[in-house]
Structure 1
Amino acid sequence: MAMHAERDPDRVALWCEGETRTRGALDRRANRLARAYAALGVREGDLVTIALPNGCAFFEACLATWRLGATPNPVSSRLPALERRAIVDTARPALVVGAPEGERYEAPTLAPGFEPDPALSDAPLPDVVSRCVRAMTSGGSTGRPKIVLDTVPAECDPEKPENGMTREGVTLVPGPLYHAGPFMTSWSTLLVGGTAVVMRQFDAERALALIEQHRVEWVLFVPTMMQRIFRLPEEVRSRYDLSSLRRVMSTGAPSPPWLKRAWIDWLGPEKIYEAYGGTERIAGTMISGTEWLAHPGSVGKPTLGRRIRILDADGKDCPPGVVGEVFMMPPGGPGSTYRYVGAEAASTPDGWESLGDMGYLDEDGYLYLVERKTDMILTGGANVYPAEVEGAIDAHPAVRSSAVIGLPDEDLGQRVHAIVDAPGGVSEEALRTHLAERLVRYKIPRSFEFVDHPLRDDAGKIRRSALRDARIGGRP
């Protein structure tokens, strides 16, 4: 970033709903902020939890963290205090940025809107490279948070764009920056001298307007965003000039075939791409619209030397067309891309790892995803773990037991549905109020169902798949 700032300090690096940062301003503000972080005790190798919304301050905080050789740990700015505390207790950061006034942790905290002392120097700092480029957060299948610590050093080639981007290109970032996709997309743009156009919150027509206004070349959507855009009236969609777009990337959840075909017909197959992978980066696939037309429904082939196997329940390789669990291996071998804090990886004895997806390969090596092995719910591109939501519901004094499942939803892919056993009765309004204090909004069930019998068996188990199948099949 310092190199780009030196070359052209007045070029806009960030635009966020009218707030801008030139390369030079971003560089200087990050230097001063890094010195403020250092004064609070941040050192090389530390984590810094960043709970800021989409905006220029988020990027300044990340860059300041890296300049000290530390690692940014982005989390949602909308987390309830209990959920934020669980993450901080797991991550054990040296600093928490964005915590509300009055919230205290073992580590120092800085409230949103913090500005460092202007007397601090904004001159360059000694060059130091963080050993881990980022530490993203996941809810975890047990309902407890886990940290995905990317063990690749914070280094890049500022002259070499990735994923079809161009040097000094313009990228639209419509998703929340605490998710891996938007985080990596925005920084991949900035680090090759590009401009990131960041939305504070996604709006379908606003996204089209920004593409036209800024001549956006590259954008990352989740399928829910693509669906909301495509369902705008045709006269609204056709109002905007999208000819600058070179690549529309979809990730976060499988794209419904009808939606993928609709976008291909609208913008052309050469512009539409889909990627599949996890924050762990143990493997990934990609497919262009042109390839997709020959392999409809696929999420592509492994990229960059990564490998994928499909294994049956006995750990044997499945032949093409046979569904099994998807296992992955990065080019550097087991453990070469990440490590968990607060969880253990699911792996075979020889180091192949699974993220819990089921799928199959075709004769040409293209991957097709079928279902999640676990009960995780994908809603609007975000992961929701039933155990976490059930724990929050069960904390209500009127609730005896609960089960949370994902039901098909035309807009979100899946909607979060709660089945609640409350013998003495409880209103939906009371539950929503209770959950708003404990869960970020997208994890709160969209629908509730009340029953008068326990939902767990004597062993404490819930058969979520049976509950889900009964409701999808229309049986009580």
Structure 2
Amino acid sequence: MNAGSLPQGFRHLTLSSGLRAAAGRDPAKTALILGEARRTYGQVVANVNRTANMLLGLGLAAGEHAAIVSPNSMEYLEIAAGVSDIGAALATLNPKLTPGELADICNDAQARLLFVHRECEASIDPARLETVRRIIWLDSDYPALMAQASDAFSPPAIDEWATFAIPYTSGTTGKPKGVMLPHRSRTLGFLAYASEYGIYSPDDHFLAISPMCHGAGLAYAFASIFMGGTTEIMTRFEPEAVLEAIHAGAVTGVFTVPTHYHAMFGLEPATLERLRGNRLRGIVANAAPLSQPMKEQIVDYFGAGLLNETYGSTEAGVVTNLRPADQLRKTRCVGQPIMGTLLRLLDDEGREVAPGEVGELHSTSPYLFNGYWNKPDQTAEAFRDGFVSVGDMAVRDEEGFVYIVDRKKDMVITGGMNVYPREIETLLDQHAAVDECAVIGVEDPRWGEQLVAYVVAAPGASVSTEALAAYCVEHLAPYKRPKAFRPIDALPRNANGKVLKTALRDLHARDIEEVR
């Protein structure tokens, strides 16, 4: 389909379209806050225009890619909008990458321009960058280039199905893949957020604390200004500072991951009590499952009627949400499909499973990705008849509520029986001595695989192998019981809070080798 065949009244939804509409309503309204700095909608749109003109002046063309390595900032959002407004796409790279990892991803993305925050300088090795024509330092080059660029810019017609961003997967099971996100998926997703969470309106004030290099971190931060609200940005997560910002009373919404709560609730009791109380309308939790005790603690501390626990992926966007009213009613649950989403739970032969049976979760919606950059085979593997799967196994109850059982790749087969470690982790999380845990499968000559639990002790507690083993005897079938319990100071996680089970398997292999 080309632009000439579209209806006369059709308007493409692009990343900046909502932002520009909000500026048209009230250009003097505050759009962005970072510390003491404030930017109005008029100023933000002018900066987006300057960025677009600057990029064109540097030779970046529609269909090409730029990349950014930076902590959260106002400029991050403006650059994302400016790049997309000329029909190019932005690869959002994790500042915690090593120079080699960063160069590999930058080369894979074929980035022509690379925006770098000075704080990330140690991660940049220019000699390894094969496609980058210019590095733009955000503290020096960027302001100078912006000062020379015009703030007059009329965005060309950009197809809403064109790619605007390419975040890279965490790479826990291999080399990271570039996820091509179209304008359509995220802008329609923003509208779904507004309907689902109740924290995205012109009257809302969103606190952005998650890294914008991840799909969700950028999406939830941008959604607020797309809808005409205010986004307050934190460059890095500091638990006490986050609670202070929420307690101050302006913040109405926040997106979180489980590690945020472990840090916040790990503060001194006096600090937590001092900062109790807020004006929140909603909390969104995602990236990894919350244990039921943690959910109860969140509800107790922040208040009832706020917590949404979503399930989704960079590829599929938000898929399901467990709404506040169901948080304590439906345990170990990720809710029901959000607006415009259809689900299928399929067995290995592609047949839909009955309620209560485990199947691989596939979803379709307006929020899907375009595919993996330069990886047609892996893109084809992700799709089945227009539905996308990222390998999660789930069950659905008679009310249509979804329960993620585990990652397909994490399923353990022991003695011919399928075991999903998440079930065991959920049980162990409820033990008073356990703060958090992760269960993996390791090779076993007799059983094929055996289960090993890595356990972080709760504050002031000690992990007793005998006590945990007895607990599992009481609550689990014999084939589901871990054969070993290993204490660990902290679970290895990636920057988005997901437990790196590959790292635990490597740790177990080293421990076995040392014993030998």
Give TM-score scaled by structure 2 length. 0.70
Tell me, yes or no, if structure 1 residue 24 matches structure 2 residue 42. yes
Mapping 1:368-407, distance limit 5 Å = 368-375=403-410, 407=454
Corresponding residue of 2:131: 106
Secondary structure of the corresponding residue to residue 138 of structure 1: coil
Correspondence for 1:150 among 181, 187, 200: 181
* Deviations 1:116-141 (CA, angstroms, capped at 9, x unpaired): 15232112334443622322111445
Summarize the Cα distance change of 1:110–1:189 in structure 2 as closer, same or farther, 3 Å threshold. same
Corresponding residue of 1:134: 165
Corresponding residue of 1:416: 492
What is the rounded CA distance, in whole Å, between the counterparts of 1:96 and 1:214 in structure 2? Answer: 38
Is the contact made by 1:152 and 1:338 (CA closer than 8 Å) also made in structure 2?
no
Correspondence for 1:205 among 227, 231, 240: 240
Summarize the Cα distance change of 1:347–1:106 in structure 2 as closer, same or farther, 3 Å threshold. closer
Tell me, yes or no, if structure 1 residue 42 matches structure 2 residue 60. yes
Higher helix proportion (structure 1 or 2): 2
Is the contact made by 2:316 and 2:388 (CA closer than 8 Å) also made in structure 1?
no
Tell me, yes or no, if structure 1 residue 2 matches structure 2 residue 20. yes
Is the contact made by 1:15 and 1:198 (CA closer than 8 Å) also made in structure 2?
yes
What is the rounded CA distance, in whole Å, between the counterparts of 1:416 and 1:155 in structure 2? Answer: 30
What is the rounded CA distance, in whole Å, between the counterparts of 1:367 and 1:296 in structure 2? Answer: 11
Secondary structure of the corresponding residue to residue 311 of structure 2: strand
Q: In the TM superposition, what is the alpha-carbon distance from 1:321 to its structure 2 partner?
A: 2.2
Amino acid aligned to 2:358: V
What is the rounded CA distance, in whole Å, between the counterparts of 2:351 and 2:490 in structure 1? Answer: 31
Is the contact made by 2:172 and 2:502 (CA closer than 8 Å) also made in structure 1?
no
What is the rounded CA distance, in whole Å, between the counterparts of 1:446 and 1:142 in structure 2? Answer: 9
Amino acid aligned to 2:230: T
What is the rounded CA distance, in whole Å, between the counterparts of 2:339 and 2:369 in structure 1? Answer: 13
* Deviations 1:33-61 (CA, angstroms, capped at 9, x unpaired): 22111111112222221212111121221
Q: In the TM superposition, what is the alpha-carbon distance from 1:265 to its structure 2 partner?
A: 2.7
What is the rounded CA distance, in whole Å, between the counterparts of 2:172 and 2:80 in structure 1? Answer: 27
Summarize the Cα distance change of 1:348–1:96 in structure 2 as closer, same or farther, 3 Å threshold. closer
Tell me, yes or no, if structure 1 residue 178 matches structure 2 residue 207. no
* Deviations 1:82-133 (CA, angstroms, capped at 9, x unpaired): 1111111221123221174772442322123222152321123344436223
What is the rounded CA distance, in whole Å, between the counterparts of 2:491 and 2:332 in structure 1? Answer: 22
Corresponding residue of 2:272: 237
Corresponding residue of 1:425: none
Amino acid aligned to 1:239: R
Tell me, yes or no, if structure 1 residue 330 matches structure 2 residue 376. no
Correspondence for 2:93 among 75, 82, 85: 75
Q: In the TM superposition, what is the alpha-carbon distance from 1:283 to its structure 2 partner?
A: 6.2
Amino acid aligned to 2:388: E
* Deviations 1:158-198 (CA, angstroms, capped at 9, x unpaired): 99945322224100111111111221111110111211111
Higher mean alpha-carbon deviation, 168-177 vs 114-123, is at 114-123
Q: In the TM superposition, what is the alpha-carbon distance from 1:276 to its structure 2 partner?
A: 0.3
Correspondence for 2:230 among 195, 199, 212: 195
Amino acid aligned to 1:276: Y
Amino acid aligned to 2:226: L
Summarize the Cα distance change of 1:111–1:308 in structure 2 as closer, same or farther, 3 Å threshold. same
Q: In the TM superposition, what is the alpha-carbon distance from 1:294 to its structure 2 partner?
A: 2.2
Higher mean alpha-carbon deviation, 306-315 vs 173-182, is at 306-315
Secondary structure of the corresponding residue to residue 297 of structure 1: coil
What is the rounded CA distance, in whole Å, between the counterparts of 2:115 and 2:306 in structure 1? Answer: 38
Amino acid aligned to 1:220: F
Is the contact made by 2:248 and 2:278 (CA closer than 8 Å) also made in structure 1?
no
Q: In the TM superposition, what is the alpha-carbon distance from 1:311 to its structure 2 partner?
A: 2.8
Corresponding residue of 1:393: none
Amino acid aligned to 2:389: S
What is the rounded CA distance, in whole Å, between the counterparts of 2:496 and 2:286 in structure 1? Answer: 21
Q: In the TM superposition, what is the alpha-carbon distance from 1:244 to its structure 2 partner?
A: 1.1
Secondary structure of the corresponding residue to residue 146 of structure 1: coil
Q: Which runs of 5+ in 1 are unaligned?
A: 379-385, 387-404, 418-438, 450-463
Mapping 1:448-463, distance limit 5 Å = none
Secondary structure of the corresponding residue to residue 166 of structure 2: strand
Q: In the TM superposition, what is the alpha-carbon distance from 1:29 to its structure 2 partner?
A: 2.0
What is the rounded CA distance, in whole Å, between the counterparts of 1:58 and 1:224 in structure 2? Answer: 23
Secondary structure of the corresponding residue to residue 363 of structure 1: coil
What is the rounded CA distance, in whole Å, between the counterparts of 2:81 and 2:324 in structure 1? Answer: 35
Correspondence for 2:109 among 79, 87, 91: 91
What is the rounded CA distance, in whole Å, between the counterparts of 1:62 and 1:416 in structure 2? Answer: 30
Higher mean alpha-carbon deviation, 235-244 vs 154-163, is at 154-163
Corresponding residue of 1:341: 373
What is the rounded CA distance, in whole Å, between the counterparts of 1:374 and 1:448 in structure 2? Answer: 15
Tell me, yes or no, if structure 1 residue 361 matches structure 2 residue 437. no
Q: In the TM superposition, what is the alpha-carbon distance from 1:199 to its structure 2 partner?
A: 1.1
Summarize the Cα distance change of 1:45–1:237 in structure 2 as closer, same or farther, 3 Å threshold. same
Summarize the Cα distance change of 1:253–1:440 in structure 2 as closer, same or farther, 3 Å threshold. closer
Secondary structure of the corresponding residue to residue 270 of structure 2: helix
* Deviations 1:345-370 (CA, angstroms, capped at 9, x unpaired): 43475454321222211121111122
Summarize the Cα distance change of 1:302–1:52 in structure 2 as closer, same or farther, 3 Å threshold. same
Q: Which runs of 5+ in 2 are unaligned?
A: 1-18, 412-420, 423-439, 441-451, 459-487
Corresponding residue of 2:149: 120
Corresponding residue of 1:431: none
Q: In the TM superposition, what is the alpha-carbon distance from 1:205 to its structure 2 partner?
A: 1.3
What is the rounded CA distance, in whole Å, between the counterparts of 1:228 and 1:102 in structure 2? Answer: 33
Summarize the Cα distance change of 1:312–1:232 in structure 2 as closer, same or farther, 3 Å threshold. same
Secondary structure of the corresponding residue to residue 69 of structure 1: coil
What is the rounded CA distance, in whole Å, between the counterparts of 2:164 and 2:355 in structure 1? Answer: 36
Secondary structure of the corresponding residue to residue 106 of structure 1: coil
